[in-house]
Amino acid sequence: MTTHQLEHPAGTAQSIAAIGLRSVTKDFGDVHAVRGIDLAIQPGEIVAFLGPNGAGKTTTIDLILGLSQPTSGDVEVLGFRPREAIARGLVSAVMQTGGLLKDLTVRETVEYTASLFADTQPVADVLEHAGITGIADRKVGKCSGGEQQRLRFAMALLSDPALLLLDEPTTGMDVEGRRAFWSAIRQDAAKGRTVLFATHYLEEADQYADRIVLISSGRIVADGSGSEVKAMAAGRTVRATLPGADTDRIGRIPGVDGLEVRGDTILVHARDTDAVARFLLTETGARDLEIAARGIEEAFLTLTGDHAASTDDTERTNR
């Protein structure tokens, strides 16, 4: 797996990382939810935090928000401790559910939240921007799910945060809503706002993020641009029986991404499987050759699943 760091555009290279995690671990009793994460995210990046349920995404987000303390390691947000960054209105988060009082009106909810910050955008502007001016006097409990989600965004954008964390942001949105949502997020990112969103859809991560951080069993298993991760996930697998395979030689075939030996069986993952097949059939004694395509989701499961199988996966039961 590649570990790739996006180069930040020259000129802003001296700026502080939006998120800096150094050797961060988090245990809940015997459960190791996060097992050592190093991550640096630059201002203005849109990063997808991709992984199956229980991978440690939510725990890591809680650490970045200062809602819990790491067992070991260091968490820094825009050069501050997480709580200090929150106190300055630099970090906001939008959760999927909850977090609203049903008996307040939409406007009261925004006013209430605004009053807790030192500086915020004017409440009226924020309501307008989120498209909820028309329902400002409606009780939150009487708002639809979509309206409540827009309210959560209004609250999150009040303090003009430099870092926005989103937990499964487009769950329940239709295609049109999803597109409008991401175009708004892109505009904000262009002004230097960093966005980290958790998702378990590779498609969404690929489509909207500059960079995908793949997490599994509390560790980063892949970190790169959408096309890089997709390349890993795309391609086909050649499977053949070949006792005593020369893995070094096969690995040098152009286009080979991965290679696995299971007893007498060899599995080669490659973008150009024809070349691999030709090589195996002409240069080696391989037989029973099969070529299988795999879907993106399946590939993603393989990427994360392989890793989980190679470590003890006690936390999968609990998180």
Partner 1 sequence: MTTTTIDPTTRRVPPMGGFNLTVLRIELKRMLRNRRTIIFTLLFPAAMFFAFGSGDDWNEAVGEGNVAAYIMTSMALYGAALTAAAGGAMVALERALGWSRQLRLTPLNPAVYILMKALLALVLGAVAIATVNVAGIVQGKPSMPLHVWIECGVLTLVCTMVFAALGVFVGYLVPGENAMQILGPGLALLSFLGNVFIPIDEDSMMWHVASFTPMFGVAEISRAPLTQDLPWYAVLNAVVWFAVFVAGAAWRMSKDTARV
Residues of this chain that interact with partner 1 (CB under 8 A) are: 16, 43-44, 62, 65, 67-68, 78-80, 84-93, 95, 97-104, 108, 111-119, 121, 125, 129, 155, 157, 160-162, 188, 191-193
The DSSP bridge pattern shows strands 163-167 and 91-94 to be parallel
| Closest distance to partner 1 from the beta carbon of 6 (Å) | 17
Q: Exposure string (b/e) for 264-299, b if CB count within 10 Å is 16 or more?
A: eebebbbeebeebbebbeeebebeeeeeeebeeeeb
| Closest distance to partner 1 from the beta carbon of 3 (Å) | 27
Closer CB to partner 1, residue 114 or residue 250? 114
Closer CB to partner 1, residue 156 or residue 233? 156
Closer CB to partner 1, residue 102 or residue 249? 102
| Closest distance to partner 1 from the beta carbon of 46 (Å) | 15
CA dihedral for 59, 61, 63, 68, sign (positive or negative) = negative
| Closest distance to partner 1 from the beta carbon of 40 (Å) | 16
Closer CB to partner 1, residue 86 or residue 245? 86
| Closest distance to partner 1 from the beta carbon of 288 (Å) | 51
| Closest distance to partner 1 from the beta carbon of 314 (Å) | 19
CA dihedral for 55, 59, 64, 65, sign (positive or negative) = positive
> 257 with 271: CB under 8 angstroms?
yes
Residue type, 36: G
- Tell me the CA distances in angstroms from 157 to 64, 141, 227, one per residue in order: 18, 21, 30
Closer CB to partner 1, residue 100 or residue 267? 100
Of 40, 84, 69, nearest in space to 194 by CA: 40
> What is the distance in angstroms between the CA of the first residue and the CA of the last residue of the chain?
25
Closer CB to partner 1, residue 84 or residue 313? 84
